Every structure is written in structure tokens, then in C-alpha cells.
Structure 1
Amino acid sequence: MLQDLFFKLYRFALPALLLLAMAIASAQQNETPEQEEAEEKAPESYEYASPAYRIERSKIKISEPVSREKQQSDDLSHYLKPANVMPLLAGPEDFTTLIKDELTSNSRGVAILLPDWQQGATAANSLNYLRKVLPDQGWTTIAIQPYEKPANYPSIALKPEEQQEANKTSLEQYRQKLSAMMTAVMEKAKSYPGIFLVIAQGSHAALLTDLYQEEKVPLPNALVVLSSYMLTATENETYAKTLAQTELPVLDLSLKRDHPLAIGNAELRQAYANKEMKASYRQRILHNFTAGYYPEESLLREINSWLRYEGW
């Protein structure tokens, strides 16, 4: 019974399938040239849409990345009182300073605060505390928003001679900018009574020492360096010699938990100071819990005690 049913279905289905196949083949053969041309152009129109879309996207203006220095300066202008933010001009470039007047009846002088490069004028690890507390002790504070570190320093050249030459060129260009900046700040500081105290951090302390020794920047009455170092051994040795030979009274502070270069080169600076018999030099290492952050009360106490010892 089932075999008869299957035979009947096969008998009638096979001719139907053959007729369907013949109809499809005939339709493909009878396709008009217009249809063939449309099918051939369809992929081209699809490909044409993609470049047109890319052209539209290319009209979008993408801004260049903003430098760290510009971001920090904009933040200072936005978040702080306008009366405390003062731009100064150093040659063709301007920079931002934060000025806070002393709050006592007896003015002691002006404390100029220079953070390390890549840091802001309100960096929380040391100088921002001094910026806030020194006015209560008779100091007018001028905190500087520094320039960025040279992009090609330290050099990654393969040969040591090429590295030294590239580093020398980069630092010399940066010294010129730093010299113009500090000269402008010292001119501003002269409008206030009292002595001039410069507190510099990191590599800026080393660069400033060179400028003071070469008399390219007006000298302050005293210099405090915080965690100072340079990034190469040759530059650190030159800095230690220059610091020992300068006539400026120097307070050299570093931390127990500090940058490895700051810790390693503190001993080198002390050795050269002893060799040159520099009397107006004091070095102290402060104990801290967080690496790179100065204990606030200890920092202020060390500065005040040293200033009293120096007669200020």
C-alpha cells in the first residue's frame, strides 16, 4: 500500500520539478539588458556611498590635545578667585602665578614657590600647604605654574655622546625660558617689602642653582630646595658642585621615602658641600609615610628654624 502511494507521488512530482527547472532557466536566458545593467551597477552604487560618507566625516574638525600646562592654567583661572590669579609675561610667552598677600602687621618678605615640572601650582605634596600657611606668618606667596618638561629630555639616542649633546641642547633651551620666567617673578616680588625666599622643587631646583651661579637671574636672599635631582648622573654631579659653590644660603630638604634619584644624590650634595666648606648649607631628611609627600608641620618647622638661624 505504501509502495503504491510513493510510486504515484514520484510519478507526478518528477515532471513538476522538471518543468520548474526549465522555467527558471528560460527566465534567466530572457533577462533584459536593462536588468543586467542594473545588477552590474548596483555594487558600484554601494561602493560609491562609502567614500561619500568618509568625505563627510573628514570635514569634522578634531582639536589637538591640550598640553598639561594649559590644562592646569585653565583650572587655576576657573576654580580660584580672579584676584589671586595673575598672569605674567616672560618674553613672548606668558605664564600663570598665584599671589596671596601676607596677613600680619609685620611683613617678612616674599616666598616664591616653584613646583617641579609636570606639577601644578597647587600640587598637594608640599608647596600648596606653604602657599596657604606662610601668609599667616608674614610672607606674601607667589606660586608659579611651571612650564612643561622638554619633550625630548632625557634623550633616547643610542650613543652616550649623542645623548649628552641632545640633553644639553634641550636643557639650554629650557633654561632660557626659566630664566625669563624667574626674572619676571623677581620683578613682581620687588613691589613687596622684605626679603626674597625661593622654594624650588625637583629638577627646577637644580636648574635654578645653575642660573643663580651664572647670574642670569636676580638672586634671592635664601634658597630652599625640596627633593632636588636631575635625571642623569653627569647632571647630578654638576648640580652638586654648583650648589656647593654658590654663595646663597641653602636649605636642602628631602624625604625618607622619596624619588630614588633624590635619595641617592642627597649624599653627593652633602659631600661636595663639606668639601667646599660651605657654611650656609643645611641638609635635612624628613620622615614621611606617603612617598613624595612632605609632612606639613615638619616642613614648616624646618624652614622657620633655618631662617631664624640665618638671621631672618
Structure 2
Amino acid sequence: MLNRFLTSLIILCLFTFSAGNSYGLRYQEETKTEQKKTKENKAATKEGEDKPDDTDKIIIKKRPEIFAPINALLQKEQDLSHYLAAEKLTPMLAGAQDFITIINENTASNQKGVMILLPDWEMSAKSSNALNYLQRMLPNQGWTTIAIQPPSRPVDYPSNALKLPLQLEENNKHLIEHQEKLTLMMTAVMEKAKDYPGIFVVVSQGSHAILLADLYAAGKLQSPSALVILSGYMNTAVDSLSFAKSLAKSQFPVLDLYLSREHQLANTDAILRKAQATKEMKVYYRQTQLHNNQVGYYPEKQLLRSINGWLKSIGW
């Protein structure tokens, strides 16, 4: 009996030990498996940090290419070619450079002559309300109009030099070069004007009016039958006085128009020209102020009436 009990106890101990060993081995295997998975997860996390997913990518946009602005004069010429009918435009040559003119032929039974219309620099041949109105109305009154696309303002005029002598030298150089361009252009236009009968009158605006008057006074261009100045001015006091004296000594008739509401330079220079013309006792010179509501905007009917009345008063 005792032997059976001992035998059963031994078997039970062996079974318990065997089961304990089996559980210990299984626990070790599970522990190793978990440790292995933990290492793999850490490795995957690290790899994920090194290689961000699509949502974390930084999108770098390519900077758009910025082109230099187109030449202002070229843009004006392209606008004229685009918006106006081809038969309205007449290209001409000034030396080696071509330029655009807009010709509106006389539509009346009588032919008075040609009016050459030159806007100020930085203007288009169609941007001046005064000259646009003349282009529309004058052909019905017997005039052929030739509107010119003007050259741009000289670069670096007026000069920014610190010393006055250098300023004067640079300004004089720029204006001489610009007047040479105007001489070539106006010579070509006057040759074209000879295709039409009658006199030729020049109507010019701003600084171009003053520069043209100086060219006529100096004999570098054939003087017109009459010159009409619209809001003439120069950018420096020295140039304003110099050209006012030149105009006062000229022999061709001049109608000098300016506005009651005008920028300061045009008003100041008009007073200066009047004083010099009075001093030199210029015979065919009339200065008239037109009353307007908008700064720089010519009253159209008053403008046409002033020009027609003055031309009749001097025999045209």
C-alpha cells in the first residue's frame, strides 16, 4: 500500500515538473516572439521616419519666368495695328526707322490743305482727346489730317546729375538726339503732305510742340503755314526759357493754346512764352486760354472754333 502511494507521488511530481518545464519553454518562446515583433516595429517606425509618406512631402513650386516689359513705343504701334483698319495706317520711314501715321483724307468739296497732328511723347496717335476730335472733324471741313505716332521721351531726361553743369550737358544731348528723330519724321511727313493740295498746318501737343517750334525757328525744318501749340511745356526751367526765346524770334504764325485747369508746368511755360513774345513784338502770335472742366481735357468745340477763327484772321 505504501509502495503504491510512493509510486503515485513520484509520478505526480514528474508530471508536475514536466508540465512546468513545458510552460516555461512556451513562455520563453512567446517572450522571444514578442521581442522580435517589437524590434521589427521599431525598425519599421524608424524607416518610416526616414522616408516620409506622400502627405508629409514638401511641394516646391517652380518660380514662374518673369519677362521684361515690352517696349512702350512698340506696344503703342501694335495697339494701333490691332484696333485700326489696315487702310487707315500708313507706315513711313525716318532714316532707317519706320513709324506709323494715320491719314484721314479730305471729304469736303473744297480742299484747304493738310493738318499734321503730333501728340506729346509717351502718347499714342489716338490717345489725345483734342487730336482725336480734330481727326474726326477736320476732313469734313476740307482738311486732310496726318496723325503721327510720336517717339518716346528720351531716356534719363531730365537728368538726375548732382551738378548743374552736368545736368545741362546731359539734357542738351538728349534733346538734340530727340530733335534729330523729329526732323527725320517730320521731313518724311511733309513729303507725304505734298501729295495733297493747299497749305500745311502743324498742331502739336506738350513738349513736342516746343521742340518742333525750335526746329522751325532754327531753319532745320521747312516752316509750316501755321503752328498750333497745345499745352506746350518743357521739364526744366532752363529749357523752358531757352525755347520761349527761340519761339518769340520766329517768323511763322503761332497759336498758343492752354487750359484753365492744367498741370503746373504748362501754365508756367505759357506765361513765359507770352512774356517773351511781347518783348520781341512777335507779330503773328496769339495766346488763348480755353476753359475746361477736367484737367488736361480740351473742350472740343472750343478748340476747333479757336483754330478756325485764328486761321481766318491770318488769311487762311
Residue 194 in 1 paired to residue 207 in 2? Answer: no
| Aligned 8 A contact 1:125 1:292 in 2 | no
Q: Is the 8 A contact 2:253 2:285 kept in 1?
A: yes
| Cα distance, 1:41 vs structure 2 | 10
1:7 corresponds in structure 2 to none
Does structure 2 conserve the Cα–Cα contact (< 8 Å) formed by 1:101 and 1:139?
yes
Aligned residue type for 2:247:
L
Q: Distance in 2 between matches of 1:177 and 1:152?
A: 17
User: Which residue pairs with 2:146 in the alignment?
Assistant: 142
* 1:128 lines up with 2:136 in the alignment: no
Counterparts of 1:92-241 in structure 2, within 5 Å, are: 92-241=96-245
Equivalence map 1:70-85=2 (5 Å): 70-85=74-89
Q: Is the 8 A contact 1:254 1:266 kept in 2?
A: yes
Residue 247 of structure 1 corresponds to: 251
Tell me which amino acid in the other structure corresponds to 2:289: I
CA radius of gyration, larger in: 2
- 1:311 and 2:315 equivalent? yes
The residue type equivalent to 2:210 in the other structure is A
Aligned-residue offset at 1:161:
2.0
Q: Distance in 1 between matches of 2:127 and 2:50?
A: 67
Q: Does 1:263 align with 2:263?
A: no
Q: CA separation of 1:161/1:27 partners in 2, compared to 1, >3 Å: closer, same or farther? A: farther
Q: 1:122 to 1:39 in 2, by over 3 A?
A: same
Residues in 2 aligned to 1:228 and 1:125: alpha-carbon distance in whole angstroms: 16
Taking the aligned partners of 2:171 and 2:214, their CA distance within structure 1 comes to 15
> Which amino acid in structure 2 is aligned with residue 258 of structure 1?
E
**Aligned with 1:174: secondary structure?**
helix
TM-score with structure 1 setting the length: 0.82
Q: Say if 2:119 and 2:128, in contact at 8 Å, map to a contact too.
A: no
How far residue 23 of structure 1 moved from its aligned partner, in angstroms, is: 4.8
Where structure 1 has 5 or more consecutive residues not aligned to the other structure, the ranges are 1-18, 43-48
Amino acid at match of 1:160: L
CA, structure 1 residues 242+149, in 2 after alignment: closer, same or farther (shift >3 Å)? same
Q: Deviations over 1:85-118 (max 9, x none)?
A: 1010101111110000001111000000000011
Tell me the SS of whatever aligns to 1:229: coil
Check whether the contact 1:118–1:148 (CA below 8 A) recurs between aligned residues: yes
**Equivalences for 1:272-291 in 2 at 5 Å?**
272-291=276-295
Counterpart of 2:217, as a letter, is Q
For residues 288 and 40 of structure 1, what CA distance do their matches in structure 2 show?
A: 75
Any gaps of 5 or more consecutive residues in structure 2? 1-30, 53-58
Following TM superposition, by how much is the alpha carbon of 1:220 offset from its aligned partner in structure 2, in angstroms?
Answer: 1.1
Please give the residue correspondences for 1:29-40 in structure 2 after superposition, counting only pairs within 5 Å.
none
The 4+ residue runs of structure 1 with deviation greater than 4 A are 38-42
- Aligned-pair Cα RMSD in Å: 2.8
Report matched runs for 1:36-55 at 5 Å. none
Per-residue deviation, residues 126-155 of structure 1 (Å, max 9, x unmatched): 110001100011000000111111121111
Q: How many Å separate the matches in 2 of 1:94 and 1:308? A: 36
Following superposition, the deviation at residue 216 of structure 1 comes to 1.7
- What is the rounded CA distance, in whole Å, between the counterparts of 1:176 and 1:115 in structure 2? 17
Using the alignment, how far apart are the partners of 1:89 and 1:218 within structure 2? Answer: 18
